Amino acid sequence: MFDGQTTKGWHTYLKDTVGSKWQVKDGAIVFDPSQPQSGGGDIVTNEVYENYELGLEWKISKGGNSGIIFDIQEDPKFTATYLTGPEMQVLDNDGHPDGKIHKHRAGDLYDLIPCSKETVKPVGEWNEVEIVSKNGSLKLYLNGTNVVSTTLWDDNWKKLVAGSKFKQWPGFGTFKSGKIDLQEKFGLTYLFIAHDLSVVEHISTRVAVMYLGRVVEQASVDQIFHDPKHPYTRALLRSIPRMRSRSRERLTPIAGAVPHPYDRPSGCPFHPRCPEFMPGRCDKEEPALRPVGDKHAVSCFLYP
Ligand code: SF4
């Protein structure tokens, strides 16, 4: 699969050659972000594999994010490799925001099954990986420890996929053979603006909640959805339907209406609608956006 000297046997997904960002240095395939953007993209094997034991080693730079994706189908109707293949996560857990997200840490079967044990080594050290896929049984090993075991394609697998972000892609995780992929480490940030919180939850890494044109809370997607601080964020989350809501459960709308932007309330702009309004303070001063924890900031007087 890799001869230690060239990228023979590999090509950029949906292309014929390997992009210039992928190079061989000191006996390893290296992703070099300093090369022109046109030389990027995931690289995949030329061959298709079924029932295999894949062994490799990886190391990552500070803040890095990548993955080993397998059983992918190279077909123009699938515009990206992750639309068909499951991924073993490659990550700097301490330096990348995904390190704080359950099932997105190094060694996890991405968004499906977390590692049973943390065996990843620090940034800059080599990690040994083994991916063993045989007759519908999948085992992932990280540094000699079996960290994930599951069955593939059965009801248990379908349930796992249905509870993940992959449920929206019908081809995902359904193929019994496919190519192996090394994922490009993206040096790219998307700013995604939406009113649909369920889409935000699935697409974003960090979230800024805005009210009347100001950011009132900023945090990781996990903190926003599991530990919201600002009364507006909490009210927003109470007002949307959730998968695990009880049948016929009523949603709680946010009281009042959004003021006209030319007639902004004095003090905290949310105070006329806030269930935790403190008279004499919230209507007199405007709170600044202040840190309340690790990479979590809120503008509200409830948090000094
Ligand atoms: S500052 Fe006061 S009014 Fe504004 S969100 Fe916080 S508690 Fe509510």
Instruction: Set out the domains of the chain in order of their start, with CATH numbers.
Output: 10-182 (2.60.120.560), 197-298 (no CATH)
- The predicted pLDDT at position 77 comes to 92
> 301: which residues sit within 8 A by CB, 6+ positions away?
268, 278, 281, 282, 285, 287
CA–centroid distance, residue 300 to ligand 1 (Å) = 5
What digits encode the pLDDT tens for the residues 150-165?
999 999 999 999 999 8
Cβ-based neighbour number of residue 89 at 10 Å: 26
CA–centroid distance, residue 253 to ligand 1 (Å) = 17
Pocket test for ligand 1, best of 271, 273, 284, 289 (most atoms within 8 A of CB): 271
Task: Please tell me what DSSP assigns to residue 280.
Answer: T
Pocket test for ligand 1, best of 212, 266, 268 (most atoms within 8 A of CB): 268
Which position has the higher pLDDT, 192 or 99? 99
What digits encode the pLDDT tens for the residues 204-249?
778 999 999 889 999 988 899 999 999 999 999 888 766 555 666 6
What is the rounded distance in angstroms from the CA atom of residue 140 to the CA atom of residue 112? 13
Residues with CB under 6 A from ligand 1: 231, 268, 270-271, 274, 276-278, 282, 287, 300-302
CA–centroid distance, residue 155 to ligand 1 (Å) = 47
- The predicted pLDDT at position 49 comes to 95
CA–centroid distance, residue 271 to ligand 1 (Å) = 6
Judged against a pLDDT cut of 90, whether residue 15 lies above it is answered with yes
- The predicted pLDDT at position 254 comes to 85
What digits encode the pLDDT tens for the residues 90-141?
999 998 888 989 999 999 999 999 999 999 999 989 999 999 999 999 999 9
Tell me how far CA of residue 57 lies from CA of 31, 121, 130, 249, in angstroms: 14, 11, 9, 50
Residue among 112, 299, 117 nearest 218 (CA): 299
Provide the whole-model pTM.
Answer: 0.62
C-alpha torsion 244→246→247→248, nearest 10:
-120
Judged against a pLDDT cut of 80, whether residue 203 lies above it is answered with no
Burial of 190 (0-12, 13-18, 19+ CB in 10 A): exposed
Residue 126 structure tokens: 């080599």
CA atoms 149, 126, 82, 104: torsion sign: positive
Backbone φ and ψ of 234, nearest 5°: -65, -40
**Residue of the CA atom closest to atom 6 of ligand 1:** 300
Residue among 24, 17, 66, 67 nearest 38 (CA): 17
**Nearest atom of ligand 1 to the alpha carbon of 232:** 5
Residue among 275, 278, 283 nearest 256 (CA): 275
What is the rounded distance in angstroms from the CA atom of residue 254 to the CA atom of residue 256? 7
